[in-house]
Structure 1
Amino acid sequence: MINIAICEDEEKMQCLIERYINNILKDIEIEYKIQKYRSGEELIECDLKGIDILLLDIQMGKMNGMDTARKIRTVDNKMEIIFITSLIDYVQDGYEVRAYRYLLKPIELEELKKHVLNCIKEIEVNKKNYIVIKNKSNTYKIHSNEITYVEVQKKNMLIHTINKNFDVRYSLEKIEKDLNLDNFIRCHKSFLINLNYVENIKQNVAILECGQEVPISRYRYKDVKEKFLKFLGDRIC
């Protein structure tokens, strides 16, 4: 089941988006549900963790879409957010809340279809992508999209996720091979980062959304920065 939410203060636009989504998904063998909200405040009061894809208008009333997305990210890092706007000026702000998809008004069916289907594809892939770590008597199943970064400390490895950290005996080479995903990159001999959670890259440091700074070795800096920019470009296009 894919849960889709539309947060848009114009009723006509709400109905248009709902009609488009029904049109897009009618021939796809997938169960889905659409919920509609008229304001950011109304959306925030619902069960946010039950939403897979959110189509969010930026220019709304008291709480605009960007502020709504910031509140969402304090409790949910997995939701796929597609911004709806009349202006493209908000693209840079979208990086802060991990929203890389934009629909410009007037909304075109083919553009919406591209974004919705890509979101569904990512959701399905992420559900299947996980690693299994065995540590003494414990076995951990860790979803790759929840890992923010990994660091090696002497003989131990610390796997940082959005919910908790795992202190295990494991090699960085092994976990890098197990993940085998385009959004992960080795930035240092002792660090691996998930580009989904990188807010900015400066000289020799990656700044994550949580404010954590992860070192980038001098000889890896160029490759990391290029991959980060390509990652952002691919997500926006």
Structure 2
Amino acid sequence: MFSILLGFLDAPMLDYLSDFCKKCGPISVSCASTKEEWFALYEQHEFDCFFFGFEDDIVNVRSVIYNLRSNEHHQHTPIILFSTKIEYLITAFVHWRSCECFLLPFDNEKKEALSSLLHYYEGMYEKMHFTNQKFCQINTPKGIYNLPCNEILYVESTMKKSIVHLKKEAIHVPYPLYQVRRLIPGKNFVQTHRSFIVNLDNISYVDKSKEPWGIFFFDSDKEAFVSRSHKKTLPPFFQGIDDDEMNLD
């Protein structure tokens, strides 16, 4: 079951977010009322997502996030920050681009965005752990590749050929990007750039602080890109806010 650890939030927000998550699907929620309780839960259990309040105790939260990102297992684990202070979220947006940010209080649009994000994460977890495996077969002069679709992060175009980037390796194939796309089953592979086709099921976060946007993936340090003309191909919850919208002016 997809699991979330909530911490560094006041009691009312802790209760609210816990109830909110449980209503979004089969999600296991653990709540920490203190820093010590958070570390105790973190040491005892495996978690797939972290929620943090980002208000007064920002020094401790920064330290925890830094430690998480320094841990190989959690380099790309989803982290969601909640704060009433936009200046804190701007800081987080700049320094921890892997984090999603929600400015409080919640309105209906933000609730819908968080619900969509949680449904995506839970659905992705379900597919990764329980869905029957699909394969993409690519014939090349060097042999036949039978690639598990859920292992494909993205396909990159290079000199009228393509590179299929998997979690642990990269396969060079003598076909242009559009031909490789025809070989991959399912609707979860979308073109995000003239040189990139991306597997939506493996996206961890989208770095919207630069142009073109960067796409990062679970359990990988690889990066794909989203051009301005292809931003709408991403699910709405990944389109989020960009630098213009984060401008205090």
- Normalising by structure 1, what TM-score? 0.62
The residue type paired with residue 171 of structure 2 is D
SS in 1 for 2:15: helix
1:159-178 matches, cutoff 5 A: 159-161=164-166, 163-169=167-173, 171=175, 172-177=177-182, 178=184
SS in structure 2 of the partner of residue 175 of structure 1: helix
8 Å contact 1:21–1:113 — kept in the other structure?
no
Aligned to 1:134, which of 123, 132, 137? 137
Offset of residue 85 of structure 1: 0.5
Tell me the residue number matched to 1:54: 50
Deviation sequence 1:19-74 (CA, Å, 0-9, x none) = 4444x35xxxx4331112334972894478x4344322123353325861783485
Larger RCO, structures 1/2 (Cα 8 Å, 6+ apart) = 2
Compared CA separation, residues 131 and 77, structure 1 to 2 (3 A): farther
State the secondary structure of the residue aligned to 2:117.
helix
Give the whole-Å Cα distance in 1 for the aligned partners of 2:191 and 2:43.
Answer: 32
RMSD, matched Cα: 4.5
Instruction: Provide closer, same or farther for how the CA distance between residues 152 and 229 of structure 1 changes in structure 2, counting only shifts above 3 A.
Output: same
2:29 partner letter = I
Alignment correspondent of 1:33: 28
CA distance in 1, matches of 2:12, 2:59: 20
Structure 2: gaps (5+ residues): 242-249
Q: 1:98 to 1:213 in 2, by over 3 A?
A: closer
Matched residues in 1 for 2:9 and 2:148: separation? Answer: 40
Match of 2:153 in 1: 147
Q: Structure 1's 83 and 128: CA in aligned 2 closer, same or farther, altered over 3 A?
A: same
Q: Secondary structure at the match of 1:143?
A: helix
In structure 2, what is the equivalent of residue 94 of structure 1? 93
Specify whether residues 7 and 226 from structure 1 end up closer, same or farther in structure 2 by C-alpha distance, changes over 3 A only.
farther
User: What is the CA distance between 1:79 and its match in structure 2?
Assistant: 3.9
Secondary structure in 1 matching 2:149: strand
Distance 2:233 2:145 in 1: 38
Selected match of 2:82 from 81, 84, 106:
84
Q: How many corresponding residue pairs?
A: 214
Structure 2 counterparts to residues 10-25 of structure 1, below 5 A = 10-22=10-22, 24-25=23-24
Q: Percent identity?
A: 9
In structure 1, the gaps of 5 or more residues are: 215-222
For 1:197 and 1:148, locate their aligned partners in 2 and report how far apart those are by CA, in whole Å. Answer: 14
Residue 86 of structure 2 aligns with an amino acid whose one-letter code is I
**Counterpart residue identity of residue 60, structure 2:** M
